[in-house]
Chains A and B, each alone.
Chain A
Amino acid sequence: MINIKDLEKIYRTEEVETIALNKLTLEVKEGEFVAIMGPSGCGKSTLLNILGLLDDPDSGSFIFNNIEVAHFNERKRADLRKHNIGFVFQSFNLIDELTVFENVELPLIYTGVKAAERKKKVEEVLDKVQIMHRRNHYPQQLSGGQQQRVAVARAVVNNPKLILADEPTGNLDSSNGNEVMQLLTELNEQGTTIVMVTHSEHDARYSHRIIRMLDGQTVTQNILI
């Protein structure tokens, strides 16, 4: 599903040049659950942003579903993103002014799904993450674990092929963290490819494969199953 070759990303300021990704090469197969680990500043988040088409690389090739997307313009990237990729962030990133239902509904609005179908899909997914009873609440009225479940619901409501999770349990206690990891595992078992950046060895063990990064390169790969 993801095929990356010699990917480079360099951040330049007037004085310093920081190489975030250094000729990185990586492959993720459809249905895989991959964890990316490494110390702060090794390029994990940059890689995730490029995979999520939120950022573009300076050079190298990025093939997503057999299409070269490295140099897509903003409109094409947005289009590909909204149909194929779901995001789960450490800080949940829910919109405070929208209710649980409305937050989850948002990706469907951007993909142009009709209101009746949206309602059906949102309710289904809220049921799945067991947050249906909180559908009319605002994010600040929920606990961290509940907020992350809403974020997961939002990430999957469009049935994306790929979920990118950036330290999804970073702001949660262990019991809520485990619940979220369980949810991701279930999604993976249903066929969704998951790429997760994490600092937690515990969470990483939910994945099939751990990629360790250092200085913008992959250094080791541990296959867990």
Chain B
Amino acid sequence: MIKNYIKIAWRNLKRNKAYAMINITGLSLSMACGLLIFTLVSYHFSFDDFHPGRDRIYRIVTEIHNENISHTPGVPPPFAKAFRRDFTFADKTARAVTFGNELISIPSSPDNKKFVEESGVACVEPDFFDIFNFPLVQGDKKTALSAAQSALVTEHIAKKYFGTVNAIGKVIRVDNKTDFTITGILQDIPLNTDRKSEIYVSDLSMKDLSEQVANDNAWGDISSETHCFIRLKPGIGPATVEAAFDGMKKKYYANRPGSQKALVFKLQPLSDVHFNPDYNGYADKKYLWALALIGVFLIVTACVNFINLATAQAINRSREVGIRKVLGSLRSQLFWQFIVETALITLFALVVAFGLAQLGLPFINSLFKTELTLHLLGNQLLLLCMLLVFLFVVFLSGSYPGLVLSGFQPVLALKGKLSQKNLGGFSLRRLLVVAQFAISQILIIGTIVIASQMHYSKTSDLGFRKDGIVLLPVPISDSAGRTRMETLRNRLASVSGVENVSFCSQAPASDANNKMDITFGNRPKPELWSVNIKCSDQDYLKVFNLKLAAGRNLSRSDTLREFLVNETFVKKLNLSSPEEVINKTATINGKKALIVGVVRDFYNYSFRDEVDPVALFSSYPQYQQCAIQCSLLHAKPALASFEKIWNETYPEYVYSFQFLDQAIARFYELDDIMLQLI
């Protein structure tokens, strides 16, 4: 019977080539999109799912309850040590501090090879490799990081730095300061983990990397990169642990009642780390589900198309149905015959879809910066997904035409007396067409909304100049670096096309924001809100074209002598005019100085975020960027000069540059991705 079904289905397809082509094209395009979306979504849901006992792994995170609640994935540097000392909830506890974009050099190489590792260097306690399943191919994980100045690198890094030579015992230098000896080689880190670092160094060397983090009393510092991971003992729930944090706060914040009240430590399950935007999770589940829904929509739309086409041409099949019924076919047998026909079309479409998905994969990979692959062999989840999509499409598209066709009255069917009424009437098909249009319109409107939002974000006034500004890194800003900064400024200023040069901690809008407590004038208590601080020299206003609303610009100084604040700052103080803060004092992070001017508000992050109260002040040790305002006409030769001058100023570092408008465009990366995807 089934052979007969397949035979007739195949011959029907051969005979109605145009019909088959339209259906196969429609279904395969939608299924290709579905497959790509599935691959992407399942990739994100597979993040960090390969660590044994992952249900018991948590990251301790911090909620800061001020006027608003803010979140950080970090904890104070001494937290992990104190947790291990004070509690027995966890069988493993590890502090992991990541230093991003670190400069690595190889002292033993004749040409002093230099690399900038975007994924950074992680300084971890030995338990880290008991909590996370990153196996070593050489060395012993129990002892590899037990001595100071020891490091683990991945096979990839070992090959990159030392070629084929065995990397064990070799020395790498971090940030031109600290040498580490490689004591073990890690298997390459899988793509589906948020622990991206490929270089791990012993926590015993923390002092060499950051004195601030190494300070066991620094309970007031919380950096988003200072993490504490724990693996709870079986049977212990996160609520039990969180309840115990109150006692911990009383102990370590005894003389800081404000912090004791404001800080709330929580346990974030490992399964939440990749998804929670509050704690810098990469992929918000909302977006993933939206994407999955788009995939389902596309497939449903193609099915609706199929149903319409199949039902519309059902009349052509009525005589065959009549004959088969006369010859004794049951309705169910006819139904299955049409299902087999649909299955054949769907199978072809699925094969084509798989090919199309393979072609589309490089685009998805470049869009999402992933390295996804589509291999059928060994990927049971993909096979299962394809099987489910196949069955879903077959039954969704095949059942209705199957029911209509198999329901024909044989006498009417044979005589060709069937009308639209026998095809289930217009109402259902109309409904399907409306649904199809609705789905398409939702996607089109979505695209237009995102596109116009992108246009708005890219073209609207952020309150500062963003075009024609080049940002260069300032690798050393200590007292020795100070002289080099001045050399750099003078040399850059002489390049043709350069209008202004300013050193600062970051551009007006940046995703790196530091917030500090503020006490205004003689008010007895700090304000309930915190102020976003930006360190800058006297040329910052000129470079970024920031306007003064009152007072004057900062005067030239190397260290904090006076503050500039923004209009939101004044509003937050409940003062009616900017003039009211001029020549008043403010104490920010324990440093007291005079407010000398008020700048007009500017967006200090994306349009999505409210304008923070901002304070600007001079402090060269915090300068990390050199912002150059230059004429776009001279951009190309100027960039070449910048590189030359920078390399001559900082020969031991690696040059890089960024246009401010491109950096800002990155705030809207997700919108851009969604737009391109739709």
Chain A residues at the B interface, C-beta cutoff of 8 Å: 49, 52, 54-55, 74-75, 78-79, 81-83, 87, 89, 93-95, 97-98, 102, 106-107, 109-111, 154
CB pair A93–B8 under 8 Å, yes or no, is no
CB pair A106–B11 under 8 Å, yes or no, is no
Contact partner, A97, options B11, B327, B414, Cβ 8 Å: B11
7 CB < 8 A contacts A-B = A55-B411, A74-B330, A95-B8, A106-B324, A110-B327, A110-B329, A111-B328
CB distance from B166 to the nearest CB of A (A): 68
* B478 interfacial contact with A, CB 8 Å: no
CB distance from B543 to the nearest CB of A (A): 77
Known A93-B319, A93-B322, A95-B320: A107·B327 in contact at CB below 8 Å:
yes
Contact partner, B8, options A49, A78, A97, Cβ 8 Å: A97
* B239 interfacial contact with A, CB 8 Å: no
Known A87-B326, A93-B414, A97-B15: A109·B4 in contact at CB below 8 Å:
yes
B contacts with A, residue count (CB < 8 A): 23
Known A82-B328, A93-B319: A109·B411 in contact at CB below 8 Å:
no
CB pair A95–B326 under 8 Å, yes or no, is no
Alpha-carbon distance A106/B320, docked complex (angstroms) = 12
Alpha-carbon distance A79/B327, docked complex (angstroms) = 10
CB distance from B8 to the nearest CB of A (A): 5
Name which of B8, B320, B328, B333 has the most chain A CB atoms within 10 A of its CB. Answer: B328
CB pair B331–A52 under 8 Å, yes or no, is no
CB pair B11–A78 under 8 Å, yes or no, is no
Known A54-B410, A55-B411: A110·B326 in contact at CB below 8 Å:
no
Alpha-carbon distance A90/B414, docked complex (angstroms) = 11
Q: Which residue of A lies closest to B12 (CB)?
A: A97
Chain B residue contacts of A106, Cβ below 8 A: 4, 324, 327
Instruction: Give the number of residue pairs across the A-B interface with Cβ within 8 Å.
Output: 57
* B231 interfacial contact with A, CB 8 Å: no
Alpha-carbon distance A54/B322, docked complex (angstroms) = 10
* B512 interfacial contact with A, CB 8 Å: no
* B466 interfacial contact with A, CB 8 Å: no
Chain A residue contacts of B324, Cβ below 8 A: 95, 106, 110
CB distance from A87 to the nearest CB of B (A): 5
Contact partner, B328, options A55, A94, A97, A107, Cβ 8 Å: A107
Alpha-carbon distance A163/B324, docked complex (angstroms) = 17
CB distance from A92 to the nearest CB of B (A): 10
CB distance from B528 to the nearest CB of A (A): 78
Alpha-carbon distance A79/B330, docked complex (angstroms) = 8
Chain A residue contacts of B323, Cβ below 8 A: 93-95
* B633 interfacial contact with A, CB 8 Å: no
* B325 interfacial contact with A, CB 8 Å: yes
* B1 interfacial contact with A, CB 8 Å: yes
CB pair B326–A81 under 8 Å, yes or no, is yes
Q: Which residue of A lies closest to B416 (CB)?
A: A91
CB distance from B322 to the nearest CB of A (A): 7
Chain A residue contacts of B411, Cβ below 8 A: 49, 54-55
Contact bitstring B2-35, A, C-beta under 8 A = 1, else 0: 0010011001100100000000000000000000
Alpha-carbon distance A98/B329, docked complex (angstroms) = 16
Chain B residue contacts of A55, Cβ below 8 A: 411
Q: Which B297-322 residues have a C-beta within 8 angstroms of A?
A: 319-320, 322
Name which of A52, A89, A109 has the most chain B CB atoms within 10 A of its CB. Answer: A109
CB pair B331–A74 under 8 Å, yes or no, is yes
Q: Which residue of B lies closest to A98 (CB)?
A: B8
Alpha-carbon distance A49/B326, docked complex (angstroms) = 10
Chain A residue contacts of B319, Cβ below 8 A: 93
Name which of B7, B325, B326 has the most chain A CB atoms within 10 A of its CB. Answer: B326
Alpha-carbon distance A110/B414, docked complex (angstroms) = 19
CB distance from A7 to the nearest CB of B (A): 16
Q: Which B329-383 residues have a C-beta within 8 angstroms of A?
A: 329-331, 333
Chain A residue contacts of B329, Cβ below 8 A: 78, 110
Alpha-carbon distance A52/B325, docked complex (angstroms) = 11
Alpha-carbon distance A37/B386, docked complex (angstroms) = 60
Q: Which residue of A lies closest to B322 (CB)?
A: A93
Chain A residue contacts of B327, Cβ below 8 A: 82, 87, 106-107, 110, 154
Alpha-carbon distance A82/B333, docked complex (angstroms) = 14
CB pair B1–A109 under 8 Å, yes or no, is yes
Alpha-carbon distance A79/B7, docked complex (angstroms) = 24
Name which of A78, A89, A94, A98 has the most chain B CB atoms within 10 A of its CB. Answer: A78
Known A97-B8, A109-B1, A110-B333: A89·B414 in contact at CB below 8 Å:
yes
Contact bitstring B397-410, A, C-beta under 8 A = 1, else 0: 00000000000001
Alpha-carbon distance A87/B411, docked complex (angstroms) = 12
Alpha-carbon distance A94/B323, docked complex (angstroms) = 8
CB pair B320–A79 under 8 Å, yes or no, is no
Contact partner, A78, options B1, B4, B320, B330, Cβ 8 Å: B330
Chain B residue contacts of A78, Cβ below 8 A: 325, 328-330
CB pair B328–A110 under 8 Å, yes or no, is yes
CB distance from A98 to the nearest CB of B (A): 7
Known A93-B414, A109-B1: A52·B328 in contact at CB below 8 Å:
no
Q: Which residue of B lies closest to A138 (CB)?
A: B11
Chain B residue contacts of A95, Cβ below 8 A: 8, 320, 323-324
Contact partner, A52, options B7, B15, B326, Cβ 8 Å: B326
Alpha-carbon distance A83/B12, docked complex (angstroms) = 28
Chain A residue contacts of B320, Cβ below 8 A: 95, 97
Chain B residue contacts of A83, Cβ below 8 A: 328
Chain A residue contacts of B326, Cβ below 8 A: 52, 54, 81, 87, 93
